[in-house]
């Protein structure tokens, strides 16, 4: 629900930027994490897409063995220029001349995920960037 609620909150800004979001809701998935921190992660991922996307955004929730993966995929211009190794570094921006970003959004995503025993990864697939955040699955006992 947190992912869907966060996406709904950004609808006006997404529409302003002519961006559509493709998100297939799943049955409820619970993570062992701080709600405010997860919400901040999702918001930062949405902002990153708004700032850099060259087209529609795909958001997915994947249930793995003992993890939940939140995945944001969006087409980007000049994907080959993205340094996925530095993407989560503080103040990293791909094109300093045109970018108004501080470069902190994804660094915060990584920091918050790690504080909750999670992880982050960036993947460049043809002309798209995929950002994945993995968090521990809450196992009801």
Mean pLDDT: which of 82-86, 103-107, 132-136 is highest?
132-136
Q: From residue 55, give the alpha-carbon distance in Å to each of 22, 35, 49, 112, 130.
A: 11, 29, 9, 27, 13
Q: Is the pLDDT of residue 94 over 80?
A: no
Q: What is the pLDDT of residue 37?
A: 97
Q: What is the pLDDT of residues 3-33, one digit of tens each?
A: 999 999 999 999 999 999 999 888 888 898 9
**Ramachandran assignment for 18, one of left (phi > 0), alpha (psi -120 to 50 degrees), beta (any other):** left
What angle do the packed helices 2-9 and 35-52 form, to 10 degrees? 40
For 30-34, 75-79, 101-105, which range has the lowest pLDDT when averaged over its residues? 101-105
Q: What average pLDDT does this structure show over 70-89?
A: 81
Spell out a b/e string for 34-73, using b for 16 or more CB atoms within 10 Å of the CB, else e. Answer: eeebbbbbbbbbbebbbebbeeebbbbbeeeeeebbbbbb
- Categorize the per-residue pLDDT at 92 as very low, low, confident or very high, splitting at 50, 70 and 90: low
Residue 32 and residue 46: Cα distance in Å, rounded? Answer: 21
Q: What average pLDDT does this structure show over 97-126?
A: 82
Q: Is the pLDDT of residue 96 over 50?
A: no
Q: Give the domain ranges of the chain.
A: 2-136
Q: Does domain 2-136 have CATH number 3.30.565.10?
A: yes
- Categorize the per-residue pLDDT at 101 as very low, low, confident or very high, splitting at 50, 70 and 90: low
Q: What average pLDDT does this structure show over 122-127?
A: 88
Residue 133 and residue 41: Cα distance in Å, rounded? Answer: 9
Tell me what percent of the residues of the chain surpass a pLDDT of 70.
Answer: 88
């Amino acid at each position: 629900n947190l992912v869907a609620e966060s996406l709904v909150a950004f609808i006006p800004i997404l529409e302003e930027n002519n961006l559509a979001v493709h998100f297939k809701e799943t049955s409820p998935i619970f993570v062992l994490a701080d709600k405010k921190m997860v919400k901040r992660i999702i918001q930062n991922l949405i902002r990153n897409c708004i700032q850099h996307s060259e087209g529609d955004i795909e958001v997915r929730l994947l249930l793995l063995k003992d993890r939940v993966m939140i995945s944001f995929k969006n087409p980007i211009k000049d994907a080959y220029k993205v340094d996925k190794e530095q993407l989560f570094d503080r103040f990293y921006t791909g094109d300093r001349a045109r970018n108004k970003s501080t470069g902190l959004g994804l660094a915060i995503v990584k920091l918050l995920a790690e504080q909750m025993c999670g992880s982050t990864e960036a993947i460049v697939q043809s002309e798209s960037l995929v950002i994945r955040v993995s968090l521990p699955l809450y196992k009801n006992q």
